[in-house]
């Protein structure tokens, strides 16, 4: 089944207790695409500036990621983010962020992508997310991500977006900020009242929580013994989740729960090294092995 993602593509500077990397490939759409491509072909929509230094044919080398929706915009600069985990590995401190091309018009969705059935609106401005949705003809499942910046500065547009999507993925701090509620179950139910059918709350090293109008599901994080760089873990989680769902003909609760488990496992590879290096070393075979290990650990 077709899976489309639109979101940020950027150049990251990363600092963790394990070292520093400068101007590495990042962005929500990139991590998502790499993660989802273990399960299904991905259609990527995004934009970079004319200063983009990398060859995109090599970024996704060996992966089924269609980059027909990638735009390199003349006269614009690429999104850049400098994040530090020196104080807290569970939460990035933004040192510098330059929206650059992300503050401009949305990239155009190719005609060949408009029939996409599964859609993930990775973290970017909620106006751009809505513009992308307006171009699609028959999406079956629409899930979005967001962040505290948009909750604080674009609440009206974010509220409009929530009325148009099936699922929302965000972290525990963001859902509390969005709803002004401390209890995560109560906060998730408040989000459901805004429009989505389900809410997935990412809790970092404490796993994730999914709430629907009928069900509540809690899943721990994979017990990783190596955490080098948490950047992109949430986007990788979403990529694994949506990649698996795109291969299924069902959105039954049991199917979605398996999707969350696959997302959790894929994210465990991301955090094992800087930037995309952990995902690049993973294979579908190693993911399946780790999924079975994770499943066995949940049995009691």
In the chain, domain spans: 3-298
CATH of 3-298, one of 3.40.1190.20, 3.40.50.10210, 3.30.70.1880, 2.40.170.20: 3.40.1190.20
pLDDT at 296 over 90: yes
Using CA atoms, how far apart are residues 83 and 94, in angstroms rounded to an integer? 5
Confidence of residue 180 (pLDDT cuts 50, 70, 90): very high
What's the mean per-residue pLDDT of the chain? 95
List pLDDT tens digits, range 234-249: 999 999 999 999 999 8
Confidence of residue 90 (pLDDT cuts 50, 70, 90): confident
Of the chain, the percentage scoring pLDDT greater than 70 comes to: 100
pLDDT at 125 over 90: no
In 3-state terms, what secondary structure has residue 25? Answer: strand
Model pLDDT, residue 1? 63
Using CA atoms, how far apart are residues 276 and 21, in angstroms rounded to an integer? 12
List pLDDT tens digits, range 59-83: 898 899 999 999 999 999 999 999 9
Average of per-residue pLDDT across 147-168: 94
In 3-state terms, what secondary structure has residue 115? Answer: coil
Using CA atoms, how far apart are residues 283 and 191, in angstroms rounded to an integer? 35
Could you say which DSSP state residue 107 is in? P
Using CA atoms, how far apart are residues 261 and 276, in angstroms rounded to an integer? 20
Cα Rg, the chain, nearest whole Å: 18
pLDDT at 189 over 70: yes
CB 47 within 8 A of CB 9: yes
In 3-state terms, what secondary structure has residue 242? Answer: helix
Average of per-residue pLDDT across 171-200: 97
Task: Tell me the two tokens of residue 235.
Answer: 């986007």
Could you say which DSSP state residue 191 is in? H
Do β-strands 42-49 and 19-26 pair in parallel, antiparallel, or remain unpaired? unpaired
More confident residue, 128 or 169: 169
Element (H, E) at 259: helix 253-270
pLDDT at 124 over 90: no
List pLDDT tens digits, range 200-220: 999 988 999 999 999 999 999
In 3-state terms, what secondary structure has residue 182? Answer: coil
pLDDT at 112 over 90: yes
Of the chain, the percentage scoring pLDDT greater than 90 comes to: 87
Model pLDDT, residue 218? 96
List pLDDT tens digits, range 226-236: 999 999 999 99
Element (H, E) at 179: helix 172-179
Task: Tell me the two tokens of residue 238.
Answer: 């979403």
């Amino acid at each position: 089944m077709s899976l489309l993602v639109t979101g940020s593509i950027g150049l990251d500077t990363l600092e963790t207790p394990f070292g520093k990397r400068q101007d590495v490939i990042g962005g929500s759409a990139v991590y998502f695409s790499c993660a989802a491509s273990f399960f299904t072909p991905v259609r990527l929509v995004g934009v970079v500036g004319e200063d983009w230094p990398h060859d995109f044919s090599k970024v996704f080398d060996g992966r089924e990621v269609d980059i027909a929706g990638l735009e390199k915009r003349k006269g614009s600069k690429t999104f850049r983010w400098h994040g530090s985990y020196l104080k807290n590995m569970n939460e990035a401190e933004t040192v510098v962020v330059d929206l650059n091309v992300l503050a401009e018009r949305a990239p155009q969705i190719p005609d060949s992508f408009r029939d996409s059935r599964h859609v993930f609106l990775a973290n970017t401005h909620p106006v751009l997310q809505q513009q992308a949705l307006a171009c699609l003809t028959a999406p079956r499942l629409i899930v979005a991500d967001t962040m505290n910046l948009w909750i604080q500065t674009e609440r009206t547009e974010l509220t409009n977006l929530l009325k148009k999507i099936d699922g929302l993925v965000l972290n525990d701090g963001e859902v509390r900020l969005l709803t002004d509620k401390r209890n995560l179950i109560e906060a998730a139910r408040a989000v459901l009242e805004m429009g989505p059918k389900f809410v997935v709350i990412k809790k970092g090293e404490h796993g994730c929580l999914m709430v629907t109008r009928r069900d509540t599901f809690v899943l721990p994080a994979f017990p990783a013994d190596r955490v080098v760089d948490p950047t992109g873990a949430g986007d990788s989680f979403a990529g694994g989740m949506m990649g698996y769902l795109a291969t299924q003909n069902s959105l039954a609760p049991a199917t979605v729960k398996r999707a969350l488990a696959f997302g959790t496992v894929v994210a465990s590879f991301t955090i094992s090294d800087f930037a995309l290096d952990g995902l690049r070393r993973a294979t579908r075979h190693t993911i399946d092995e780790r999924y079975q290990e994770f499943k066995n650990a949940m049995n009691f």
